[in-house]
Amino acid sequence: MAFEKTWRWFGEKDSVKLSDLKQMGIEGVVTALHHIPNGEVWPVEEILKVKTNIEQHGMRWSVVESLPVSEGIKTRNSDCKRLIENYKQSIINLGKCGVDTVCYNFMPVLDWVRTDLHYKLPEGGEVMFFNFPLFVAFDAYILKRHGAENDYPADIVAKARDIYSKMSEEDAEALAYNIIVVTQGFIDGVIDGTVVNYKQVFLNFIATYKDIDRKKLREHLSLFLNDIIPVAESAGVNMCIHPDDPPFSVLGLPRIVSTKDDLEWIIKQVDSISNGITFCTGSLSVNRNNDLIQIVKSVGSRIHFLHLRNNQLLPDGCFYEFGHVDGVVDMYAVMKVLLEEQQQRIIEGRKDIRMPVRPDHGIKILDDYKKNANPGYPLIGRLKGLAELTGMERAIERIMNFK
């Protein structure tokens, strides 16, 4: 049957054009209304404009990535009610337009985080790197977050101190800018390039979590799910939460979408197909204890969207992204168990058998150097990944005699 092949597209400003995607064998587009400010309703007319444009290019709008969950919902501040009403209305509007899969995340303040956006591989490609001690140096000594040293293991803090003592002021500033602004701006994070005093603004956001621990954040997620999932269900929309990237606490903030246990807990909060998961191999595999096969076996029936990519893991919590089928993720085994899940859906006569997949991130190679793509989203590197994944998928289907 094969998964629906999709591609993340950042709208008209993306260096890859919609008209290019068909040539690449793409069936569905993953995008968002990036021009609507975080927390505001996505109007039907705006949704339809994007949808029609995609359809005129012979594809479908497969997945919304992301409909951002505002900080006010995660912290349940005084604006929470209005924000949730707006969120519901956006889901209703998407459903009306026939856009039926919505990816979101519940990571406090920061979405994904990397310390180096241009790590050179010996072969000449470029990937993104997360250096844990360097990240701690950012938190404790560049950002100077109060009490940061107590939030990380002592040996990592010692390494962070050493790294910081050898850092130039320019490098320190560039690191902060990459973490707070560059990686977050294009995905509609809390801070974009227009904020002047971004380190202070970032610290202010972190401070709003001072009374929110893991338990409290879970409570907030549960309340959110209980509010929005019934609405999504009647709108015919499947919500799918994206795992934390990386899947552990950073900046002293709780992260609650990191493990099999977390995912099992989430789907139990509201027993509905609409309460689903984005299965991101890159994010989950950074925790060596996460057994991706077991995760699919446990929560597979609620997986609505696949992000496939790979990592190389290093000591001290460090890792870098790598080729889609090479690295710590046994992509063959993962692909096989996901295809089995799809077969199961066909047998059960479920409607959601598309299981949209996108090659997540990619190695910057060749002509990618001439283009100005968002970090992690080079054209050729991702296309190579898609080709590798598709080949693997075809071979498994043939060997397994899948329909």
Site residue total, ligand DNO (CB under 6 A): 10
Residue 100 in contact with ligand DNO, rule: CB under 6 A: no
Among 108, 323, 327, 376, the residue binding ligand DNO under the rule CB under 6 A is 376
Residue 66 in contact with ligand DNO, rule: CB under 6 A: yes
**For this structure, is 242 an active site residue?**
yes
Q: From the candidates 80, 103, 240, 280, give the one annotated as an active-site residue.
A: 280
Residue ranges in 208-247 that form contacts with ligand DNO under rule CB under 6 A: 242
Residue 105 in contact with ligand DNO, rule: CB under 6 A: yes
**For this structure, is 324 an active site residue?**
no
Residue 50 in contact with ligand DNO, rule: CB under 6 A: no
Q: Which is nearer to ligand DNO, 114 or 145 (CB)?
A: 114
The 3-state secondary structure of the chain, one letter per residue? CCCCEEEECCCCCCCCCHHHHHHHCCCEEEECCCCCCCCCCCCHHHHHHHHHHHHHCCCEEEEEECCCCCHHHHHCCCCHHHHHHHHHHHHHHHHHCCCCEEEECCCCCCCCCCCEEEEECCCCCEEEEECHHHHHHHHHHHCCCCCHHHHCCHHHHHHHHHHHHCCCHHHHHHHHHHHHHHHHHCCCCCCCCCCCCHHHHHHHHHHCCCCCCHHHHHHHHHHHHHHHHHHHHHHCCEEEECCCCCCCCCCCCCCCCCCHHHHHHHHHHCCCCCEEEEEEHHHHCCCCCCCHHHHHHHHHHHEEEEEECEEEECCCCCEEEECCCCCCCCHHHHHHHHHHHHHHHHHHCCCCCCCCEEECCCCECHHHHHCCCCCCCCHHHHHHHHHHHHHHHHHHHHHHCCC
Q: Which stretch binds ligand DNO (CB under 6 A): 42-50, 104-112, 214-222, 286-294?
A: 104-112
Residue 112 in contact with ligand DNO, rule: CB under 6 A: yes
Q: Which is nearer to ligand DNO, 141 or 186 (CB)?
A: 186
Closest contact distance (angstroms) between CB of 374 and ligand DNO is 8
Binding mask 169-208 for ligand DNO (x = CB under 6 A): ------------------x---------------------
Site residues (vs ligand DNO, CB under 6 A): 65-66, 103-105, 111-112, 187, 242, 376
Q: Which positions are annotated as active-site residues?
A: 242, 280, 307, 360-361, 377
